[in-house]
Every structure is written in structure tokens, then in C-alpha cells.
Amino acid sequence: MIRFENVGLRYGLGPEILRDISFDLPSGSFQFLSGPSGAGKTTLLKLLFMSLKPTRGLINVFGKDRARVTRQELPLLRRRIGIVFQDFRLLDHMSTFDNVALPLRVRGREEASYRQDVAELLKWVGLGDRMHVLPPVLSGGEKQRVAIARALIEQPEILLADEPTGNVDPPLARRLLRLFIEMNRLGTAVVIATHDLNLMEQVDARRMILSDGRLDIYD
Amino acid sequence: MTDVPADISRIHASRRSRRGPSPIIPPQSVSGQSLVLVIAIMTFLSCLTLGAVTMIRDTAAVWQTQISREATIQIKPIEGLDMDTALGTAASIVSGFSGVTGTRIVDEQATARLLEPWLGSSIDFEQLPIPRLVIVTVDRSNPPDFEAIRASLAPEIPSATLDDHRTWVDRLVAMARSMVMIGVSVLALMLTATVLTVVFATRGAMSGAGHIIDVLHFVGAEAGFIAVQFRRHFLMTGAKGAVAGGIAAVATFIAFSWWSSMNMATPGGDQAAALFGNFAIGTSGYTGVAFVVVAIAVITALTSHLTVVAYLTDIDSRQPDGG
């Protein structure tokens, strides 16, 4: 589904942040992306999400060469990827419901056609009673779940989550992890960037460890 | 976890059921309100300038038309001249020329009224050498040969002189053209300042919207969709400000027009009317105001569109440059 071959990335004229990164992300796979702070986890997620271009190497996303993807094709490819940002990136003037429904609205769907789906997903992530609340009054964990619901609403082929448990207590972290596992069972490939070892120990999944700009994979 | 009181949820729920989905761009913000105010002020000033230029142009045209439509024959009383006969002769000579549409002898009473401010109310025409006038109305599209009229008058009435107001008309035309040119230059500067102010104010108002564009971009919105959202929002913002400014300008013109009509019979009002006409900007003025309002709303929308497109281009072509 997504393939990296000898990908390297440097900021400006500085040293390479990522060096010779090669891996495959198969459909329906589940993996943790880990490594010390500043190892380049977020940068690698940005490369996966096509919001950064590599300085060298080949990235193939859904059968397309990243270097040849046009500006018009980018949104269509991104719709197949769900992303959960570390800082949530919710729109504060929109309700929980509208934030989750945003990916559907931008595709031109009428509210009547998705109202039920969004409500069910919000109930599924435990936010059925927070549906019409604005993000500023939500807790960190609730915001995190809204961001996850927004990433999942379109049933993406792959879900990228950047430190999804970074702002929550261990019980909620376990709850969120179960949510990701459930999504994975339904067929979505999952990449969770985290440095939370406790979280990783709870699932027997592939581990991608970034260190000194290199990636080691433990299947 | 923060517990949100149930009544807040209910309030939001009831709002939702009334309004439908929240707008993607927040409807009101401090920068948005400032933008409306800036646009309203600049539109008001632009419309005032446009109205003033329209009024100057129309008034200048009226001056030229009225003055060049008439000529005056002045007959000075000299020894042995029968003034009444001379006036009649002059009128009949002039009437024979093509391009003359009418003549009118200014009678003694009218002449006395003209001279009353200087000579008082009891003027004795027998005692004072007071010149008399014949007003000649001319066809502007086919003016008579004034030199031929002078040549015909000279042998019959030696003390008669013909003033075709050419000097006055030439000076007025030159002055009117200068005023219109200055007005158009001021209008051009005003419109340029308005456009630049609106562009920078719109960009300023949009600077806080980067996170919205980012989020829309990352949830897979196409550039066209994002641009349409912002264009629609800023078209409404621009229209609000521009319509408010335009209405204020029209109200100002109507107020001046009303003041002018209320003071029509007073010396001040007559003086103002003589200089500026009746303070009405006419159909072309109101059309111009409507054009300015529409243009400013469109410029606001266009600026937001270009800003969004530039922002998206920057995101999509972003290279690992430290960001």
C-alpha cells in the first residue's frame, strides 16, 4: 500500500534527519513507530501523509510515485489516509459533530446523508453525549477521541496517529488502543507513532524503531 | 476529564437544530469586524470622491452650456442717439442672422433692478448715461457669425458693442476641465488607496485562518473547495462593509441635496447652488456608487481567494527546509 525505498530527508543544508529508510506498509497491518524524542517520528508520518517531500529515495503511495503526484491528485490520495495529529487540530468554532463530519462535508456530502454515521461513530468513541459541544470545553482525552473519530469517519485504508496517547492517562490510553485495534480488525492499516513502551507492550505488533535517522523493523 | 454541564450540551444541541451545520469559516471575529469597518470607511470616502467628481463635472457642463448660449449687445447713450430706436434696430439686425434663436431687450425697469445695488432705487435714466442691453439667445449647435453681427451693428449704432462671452466661456471651460481632471486624479488615488487598504486588511483578517486552511487541507479538501469557502465568506464581509459605506455616502448626498433645497431662497443657498448646482449626483453618480460597492466586495473576495491559493501552493510545494 505504501512503500519507502532508500528515502532520505534533510532540512535545508543540515545533516540528514532520516537516512536510507526502506519499508512496506501492507494493507490491514498494525505497527508502532517508536524512537527517542526528536528521532524523526513526526517527520516520517509527514512523509507518509505526503505533506513533506523526501530529498532522496522513492515513496510509492497506493501505487503512485510520490514525486509524480500532482497537486490535484493529492487531496484524493489523502482521503484514503486518516491522520490524528499530536495537537488534535480541531476547529474550535465547530461542534464535536461538525469536526468529525468535516471530511465528509469537504467531499460535498449533505448532512442528512451522514448524520447517522457520525452520531454512531461518536457513540462508539464514547462521545455520544458530547456531540454538540465545542472543542474548548472538551478535555484532552475527549479532544483526542474527536480527532480519532474525524480520522476514521471516512473508513480510511490507513490510519496514522501521532502520539495518540500522549495527553491521556493510562486507562484512557488503553481504551484508545482498543479503538485502534478494532479499526484494524475492520481492515484499516494502523501506524501509531509513540514512545510509550507500556502501550507497545499491550499489542503484539510490528515495531518500527527510529534511531539516529535510521529505521529498524522488528516483526 | 472535564465534565461539561448538560445544559451547555442542550444549548448547543438546540442551536444546531435551528442553524444546521456550523459554517466552516467562523462568521465573526475581531479581525473580521475590523475588516468590515475598514471597508465601510474606504467605500464611503471613495463614493464621496466619486460623487464630488460627478457633481463638478455636471456643474461645469451646465456653466458652459448656459453661458455660451447667450450673447449681449450693450448700447451706450451718446449724443443724438434715440435709445429705444437703437435697441429695436439692434434687436432686428441681430434677429436676421442664422444661429440667433431670440432677442430680448432689457427694459428700463429690469435695468434699474440690475443697477439698484449700486445706484439706489430711484434711477433717472434721463440724467445718467446708463447703457442698455439686448440679450441675444444663440443656437449652441449652430452659433451665428459674431464678427458679421459686429460689422452690421457698427454702421447703424456706433456705440453698440457685442459681447459673446467668449473670454468667460474659454476661461470657464479651462477651469472646469482642470477641476474635473483634478477630481478624477483624486478619485484614482482614492480608489487605489481603497484597493490597497482592502487587500491588506483582508490579508490581515486571513492571517488567523491558516489553521483552518491546514485542517481542511489535511482532511482531503480540494483547493477549489477551500478557496470557495473563503471567497464566499469574504465576499459577504466585503459586501457588508461596502454596502454600509455606500449607503452612508448616498445618505450624505441626499442630506446635502435636502439642505440645498431647504436653503434655495437664501443668499447662502443661492451661492452654493450657483457654484455646485443642486447637490444632486444624478443617475451616473448613483450608478458609480453601486459600481464602487460591487467592485470593493469583489476585490475583497478575490484577495481572499488569491491568499488561499498562495497558501495552499506553499503547503503543497513545501520542502524540508526546517519547517
pLDDT digits (tens, 9 = 90+) for B193-213: 888 887 887 777 777 788 888
Alpha helices, DSSP H only, in A4-63? 41-48
State how far the alpha carbon of B191 is from the alpha carbons of A109, B44, B48, B202, in Å: 41, 11, 11, 16
- B136-154 pLDDT, tens digit each: 988 877 888 888 998 998 8
The angle, 0 to 180 degrees and rounded to 10, between the axes of the packed helices B282-316 and B166-206 is 30
Q: Is the pLDDT of residue B15 over 60?
A: no
Kindly tell me the burial class for residue B59, based on how many C-beta atoms sit within 10 Å of its own C-beta (0-12, 13-18, 19 or more). Answer: buried
Mean pLDDT, rounded, for B59-63: 74
Closest CA to A85 of A27, A126, A35, A45: A45
Determine phi and psi for A195, rounding to 5 degrees: -120, 20
Beginning with the edge strand found earlier in the chain, give each strand of the sheet holding B132-138 in spatial order.
B100-105, B132-138, B70-75, B160-163
Do A173 and A161 meet the contact criterion of CB atoms below 8 Å apart?
Answer: no
* Neighbour tally for B8: CB within 10 Å: 13
Q: How far apart are CA B322 and CA A15, in angstroms?
A: 11
Q: Which residue of A has its CA nearest to B212?
A: A91
A33's enclosing H/E stretch is strand A30-34
Cα–Cα distance for residue pair A54/A21, rounded to 1 Å? 10
Alpha carbon dihedral B188, B189, B190, B196, in 10-degree steps, equals 110
Chain B residues touching residue A133 (CB < 8 angstroms): 4, 8-9, 12
Phi and psi (nearest 5°) for B32? Answer: -65, -40
Cβ-contact A173, A199 below 8 angstroms: yes
Interface of A with B in 90-129 (CB under 8 A): 90-91, 93-95, 97-98, 101-103, 105-108, 111, 129
Range of lowest pLDDT (A4-13, A132-141, B155-164, B281-290)? B281-290
Helix H or strand E encompassing B108: helix B108-119
B272 residue type, one letter: A
Place of cell 543544508: A13
Parallel, antiparallel, or unpaired: how do β-strands A206-211 and A189-193 relate?
unpaired
Q: Quote the pLDDT of residue A188.
A: 92
Q: Is the pLDDT of residue B263 over 80?
A: no
pLDDT at A118 (0 to 100): 94
Instruction: For B12-48, give one letter per residue: b (16+ CB within 10 A) or e.
Output: beeebeeeebbebbbeeeebbeebbebbbbbbbbbbb
Is the model more confident about B308 or about A105? A105
Q: Can you tell me the distance from the alpha carbon of B195 to that of B200, in angstroms, rounded to the nearest whole number? A: 9
| Interacting residues of A3 by C-beta distance below 8 A, sequence separation 6+ | A23, A24, A25, A58, A59, A60
Kindly state the helix (H) or strand (E) to which residue A59 belongs, with its residue range: strand A56-61
- Helix B30-68 to helix B166-206 angle (10° resolution) is 170
- The model's pLDDT over A21-77, given as tens digits with 9 standing for 90+, comes to 999 999 999 999 998 888 888 889 999 999 888 999 999 999 999 989 888 888 899
Question: In chain A, what residues touch B15 (CB-CB under 8 Å)?
Answer: 132
pTM for this structure? 0.69
Which residues of chain B are within 8 Å of residue A138 when distances are taken between CB atoms? 2, 4
Cα–Cα distance between A169 and B110 in angstroms, integer?
103
pLDDT at B28 over 90: no
pLDDT tens digits, A66-88 = 989 888 888 899 999 999 988 89
The alpha-carbon gap from A206 to the nearest alpha carbon of chain B, in Å, equals 26
Is the ipTM value over 0.90, yes or no?
Answer: no
**Is B64 buried (19+), middle (13-18) or exposed (0-12) by CB count in 10 A?**
middle
B11, pLDDT greater than 60: no
Q: What pLDDT does B13 receive?
A: 45
Query: For residue B12, which residues of chain A lie inside 8 Å, CB to CB?
Result: 95, 132-134
Compute CA B170 distance to the chain's CA centroid, rounded to the nearest angstrom.
24
Q: Which residues pair with A25 in a beta bridge?
A: A2
Q: Could you say which DSSP state residue B23 is in?
A: P
Pick the residue from chain B with its C-alpha nearest to A107.
B221
For residue B311, name the pLDDT band (cuts at 50, 70, 90).
confident
Residue B147: phi and psi, rounded to 5, are -65, -40
Q: Where are the domains of chain B?
A: 28-64+170-317, 77-158
**How are beta strands B70-75 and B160-163 bridged, if at all?**
antiparallel
pLDDT (0 to 100) of residue A119: 94
- B293, with CB counted inside 10 A (0-12, 13-18, 19+), is buried
Q: According to the model, what pLDDT value does residue A181 have?
A: 92
Chain B residues with CB inside 8 Å of A78's CB? 218-220
Residue A180: Cβ within 10 Å count: 24
Q: Is the pLDDT of residue A95 over 90?
A: yes
**Nearest by CB to A98, which of B21, B225, B321?**
B21
**Pair B184, B53: CB distance under 8 Å:** yes
Q: Which one of B2, B25, B31, B218 would you mutate to disrupt binding with A, by most A Cβ within 10 Å of its Cβ?
A: B218
Among A3-17, A35-49, A98-112, B55-69, the minimum mean pLDDT is found in B55-69
In 3D, which of B273, B276, B278 has the Cα closest to residue B257?
B278
Q: Nearest CB to A150: which of B15, B20, B219?
A: B219
* Percent share of chain B, pLDDT over 70: 83
**Percent of chain B residues past pLDDT 90, beyond the cut:** 14
